[in-house]
Amino acid sequence: MVARIPSLEEKLKGLPTQPGCYLYKDAAGEIIYVGKAINLRNRVRSYFQKSAKHSPKTRKLISRTVDLDYIVVDSELEALILECNLIKEHRPHYNIRLRDDKQYPYLVLTMNEPYPRLLVTRRVKKDGAKYFGPFTNSRAVWDSLRLIYRLFPLVTCRKRWDNSPVQRPCLYHHMGRCPHAPCAGLANSEEYRKMVDDVAMFLDGKQEKLVQQLRAEMEEASEDLQFERAARLRDQIAAVETLIERQKVVSTNAADQDVVAIVNDHGESAVQMFFIRNGKLIGQEHFMLEGLEDEEGVENATGEFLKQYYQDAAYVPTEIILPTHVEETVIIEQWLRQKKGTKVTLTVPERGGKKQLLDMAIGNAKLALEQMRTNTLTEYDRTMGALMELQDALGIDTPLERIEAYDISTIQGSFSVGGMVVFKEGKPAKSEYRRFKIQKPTNTGEPNDFAMMREVLTRRLKEAKSGNPKFSTLPDLMLIDGGKGQLGVAVSVAKELDVELNMIGLAKQFELVYQPGQAQPLALPKNSQALFLLQRIRDEVHRYSVTYHRTLRGKNATLSVLDTIPGIGLTRRRELLKFFGSVERMKNASVDQLAAAPAMNKRLAATIHKMLHGNAA
């Protein structure tokens, strides 16, 4: 007997009164919202009361909800932690969430190694390492990495780390880039660990404290007549002090603070963060939020951002300055205190220096939001705007959602290949790129691009007609790299296979667009976004086919003469080379000696002997 699945109404009646998280699902079973509650029954039922006055967003959510699940926990704090994890995992449509599904980069000190390194990672693990971040700007991460390696020469390679003299020092050691050289047994573990602690102090924003320690070490080294070490410390101090001079003093109480400013305008939201360490502004980052409606306001966005950002943040300051009070202040402070190990305060300033900092962050958030809009408009012009312009110029009725482009790459008919690239909504869809090795090569010295293009297009369209899922979707526009002749080949192939397609050819010399049945080519304006899009697609298919062509040529350059002998496959070739050691020794061997090799026989040995001595028939 099949168990009956409870309806939504039945689940609402059976909700428990304990704290926990609830998950709303749509008709497709997709999780569209995750929430938490101290009392699951009261909270969830409040959504479905007919008398309740909900916001437009909540009404949309309820109209799409056909099922729900819930998870019971022991406390509101556990519910908050679970909610953060569920939102991160499922990214529900109706939750406010950090934009992009990507992981932001972190810097990590691999403290679980005898000689730690500083690396860039996108995943925070509980592995004993020290993490710093997250950063929204990848360039800033790599710039910081290069600066730190210049100031503190940590090891960078993945060789053995037990400080045993297993090899001579490499070039990096002689260049001064890796003076410790643990792979050569030259490292002083205590001195190296001290340098690792200095790096951690630097990344924590405690540069002034670091300078004090480095200056004391420099004086001690000078007194001990260790002048080279003293000079090295002097240079480190100078570099760190230069960095300190660029940092703005914003607080006189040497506090560790994060300033969080959020602006929301017509459903678009930007978050600006200032990072203050020891009273100095050491950096800033901005993030974008999605899923926020106008009526929800900044309060909801602030609470959701705090939970999602500090869930993986490598460092939690003692004070977080906010633009507005959040409903969950007490429980969020409790959660942050659990993460940090000491008290964390959420502050909403009304005047003074903290308010000035907040206003400055709000101004930066507005600029970030405006920049995001500008970038969005620019991207739209490059993609959807260009597609509409192209559709209008070509006189095509249907939208050009999928464009396929084809190109042939060959050198005197050798290693001839065809490339097919796909653009969806004006952007590359690299998972759908395809490549073709020409099965009917042209005569050497007389390459026939038309014949090769015919073969590629015939194979592609036949695969589509046969139902091959890799080729089943036909393009809204087929772009052929070439002029009237190449386009004519494409038209004839489509006609032979009874396939109707929009096709154009793009001639590189004058960037003219050829269309079937049109006597004169179309010349798009030189500043046309449609022309720029066609050029990007043409250049991409050329790059793709040339890359494949080079790969085949490279493989051929490494082929052994054995690969030209019929009957010699990969296994036999490997066994022969293993048995004789080289092709030259095989050439000096008799037929009987060849036949004595593994996986060989007398007939094949005689063939190999003839081929190696140039006596092949």
Query: Residue 617 pLDDT more than 60?
Result: no
Whether domain 561-612 has CATH 1.10.150.20: the reply is yes
pLDDT band at 405 (very low <50, low <70, confident <90, very high): very high
The answer to whether 302 and 311 have CB atoms below 8 angstroms apart is no
Query: Residue 483 pLDDT more than 70?
Result: yes
Q: How far is CA 558 from CA 553, 554, 555, 563, 612, in A?
A: 9, 7, 5, 10, 17
Separation CA 157–CA 465 (nearest Å): 52
Residue 371 confidence (pLDDT): 76
Separation CA 479–CA 403 (nearest Å): 7
Residue 420 confidence (pLDDT): 92
Same fold, 257-370 and 561-612: no
The residue to which tokens 């909800």 are assigned:
65
Q: How many Å from the N-terminal Cα to the C-terminal Cα in the chain?
A: 74
Which distant-in-sequence residues (6+ apart) come within 8 Å of 438 by Cβ? 408, 410, 416, 417, 418, 452, 455, 456
Vertex 521 angle, CA 520 and 524, to 5°: 135
Mean residue pLDDT across the chain = 80
Query: Residue 173 pLDDT more than 80?
Result: no
Residue 616 confidence (pLDDT): 44
The answer to whether 149 and 117 have CB atoms below 8 angstroms apart is no
Separation CA 80–CA 557 (nearest Å): 60
DSSP letter (8 states) at residue 522 = B
Q: Architecture of domain 402-555 in CATH?
A: 2-Layer Sandwich (3.30)
- Comparing C-alpha atoms, which of 321, 323, 278, 273 is closest to residue 300? 323
Least confident of 226-235, 527-536, 554-563: 554-563
Least confident of 34-43, 106-115, 521-530: 106-115
Q: What is the pLDDT of residues 48-81, one digit of tens each?
A: 887 667 778 888 888 898 888 889 988 888 888 8
Separation CA 591–CA 610 (nearest Å): 9
Q: Where are the domains of the chain?
A: 11-95, 106-247, 257-370, 402-555, 561-612
- Comparing C-alpha atoms, which of 202, 213, 187, 177 is closest to residue 113? 187
The answer to whether 406 and 481 have CB atoms below 8 angstroms apart is yes
Q: How far is CA 372 from CA 99, 136, 264, 319, 364, in A?
A: 12, 14, 13, 29, 12
Query: Residue 550 pLDDT more than 70?
Result: no
Query: Residue 246 pLDDT more than 60?
Result: no
Among 133-142, 415-424, 493-502, the range with the most confident prediction by mean pLDDT is 493-502
Cis preceding linkage at 134, omega within 30: yes
pLDDT band at 101 (very low <50, low <70, confident <90, very high): very low
Query: Residue 151 pLDDT more than 80?
Result: no
Mean pLDDT of 234-263: 67
Query: What six digits make up the tokens of 316?
Result: 């939690």
Mean pLDDT of 489-506: 92
- Comparing C-alpha atoms, which of 100, 178, 85 is closest to residue 138? 100
What is the three-class DSSP state of 401? coil
Mean pLDDT of 171-182: 71
pLDDT band at 502 (very low <50, low <70, confident <90, very high): very high
Q: What percent of the chain has pLDDT over 90?
A: 15
What is the three-class DSSP state of 508? coil
Q: What is the pLDDT of residues 346-404, one digit of tens each?
A: 988 888 878 888 888 888 888 877 777 777 667 777 888 889 999 999 988 888 999 99
The answer to whether 211 and 233 have CB atoms below 8 angstroms apart is no
Q: How far is CA 400 from CA 147, 157, 160, 377, 516, in A?
A: 47, 49, 55, 19, 17
**63-69-75-79 Cα dihedral, nearest 10 degrees:** -60
Helices and strands (DSSP H and E) totals, the chain? 20, 20
Separation CA 570–CA 274 (nearest Å): 60
pLDDT band at 480 (very low <50, low <70, confident <90, very high): very high
Query: Residue 154 pLDDT more than 50?
Result: yes
Output the CATH code of domain 11-95: 3.40.1440.10
Query: What six digits make up the tokens of 317?
Result: 């300051």
Mean pLDDT of 233-253: 60
pLDDT band at 266 (very low <50, low <70, confident <90, very high): low
Mean pLDDT of 540-565: 66
- Comparing C-alpha atoms, which of 519, 439, 535 is closest to residue 487? 519
Query: Residue 540 pLDDT more than 60?
Result: yes
Mean pLDDT of 568-581: 77
Residue 462 confidence (pLDDT): 92
Instruction: Say if residue 470 is exposed, middle or buried (CB neighbours under 10 Å; 0-12, 13-18, 19+).
Output: exposed
pLDDT band at 132 (very low <50, low <70, confident <90, very high): confident
Residue 422 confidence (pLDDT): 94
Query: Residue 559 pLDDT more than 50?
Result: no
More confident residue, 267 or 291: 291
Residue 538 confidence (pLDDT): 92
The residue to which tokens 């309740």 are assigned:
52
More confident residue, 260 or 185: 260
Separation CA 99–CA 304 (nearest Å): 12
Which distant-in-sequence residues (6+ apart) come within 8 Å of 7 by Cβ? none
Q: Please count the residues of the chain.
A: 617
Query: Residue 268 pLDDT more than 50?
Result: yes
Query: Residue 529 pLDDT more than 80?
Result: yes
Residue 495 confidence (pLDDT): 92
Question: Alpha-carbon torsion 554, 557, 559, 563, what sign?
Answer: positive
Mean pLDDT of 27-38: 89
Query: What six digits make up the tokens of 514?
Result: 């050829």
Q: Which fold has domain 257-370?
A: Nucleotidyltransferase; domain 5 (3.30.420)
pLDDT band at 577 (very low <50, low <70, confident <90, very high): confident
DSSP letter (8 states) at residue 187 = -
pLDDT band at 97 (very low <50, low <70, confident <90, very high): confident
Query: What six digits make up the tokens of 452?
Result: 């090769």
Q: What is the pLDDT of residues 196-229, one digit of tens each?
A: 888 887 777 666 667 777 788 787 777 778 777 7
Which distant-in-sequence residues (6+ apart) come within 8 Å of 147 by Cβ? 239
Largest Cα span, the chain: 97
Separation CA 521–CA 516 (nearest Å): 10
Residue 304 confidence (pLDDT): 87
More confident residue, 533 or 113: 533
- Comparing C-alpha atoms, which of 579, 578, 582 is closest to residue 561? 582
Separation CA 86–CA 197 (nearest Å): 35
More confident residue, 151 or 586: 586
Separation CA 88–CA 104 (nearest Å): 13
Residue 241 confidence (pLDDT): 65
Residue 587 confidence (pLDDT): 82
Query: What six digits make up the tokens of 412?
Result: 């005197």
Which distant-in-sequence residues (6+ apart) come within 8 Å of 591 by Cβ? 602, 605, 606, 609
Which helix (H) or strand (E) segment holds residue 346: the answer is: strand 345-347
Separation CA 496–CA 490 (nearest Å): 10
- Taking the whole predicted model, whether its pTM rises above 0.85 is answered as no
More confident residue, 79 or 134: 79
What are the two backbone dihedrals, phi and then psi, of residue 142, each rounded to the nearest 5 degrees? -70, -35
Separation CA 33–CA 91 (nearest Å): 8
Residue 158 confidence (pLDDT): 67
Residue 100 confidence (pLDDT): 56
pLDDT band at 127 (very low <50, low <70, confident <90, very high): confident
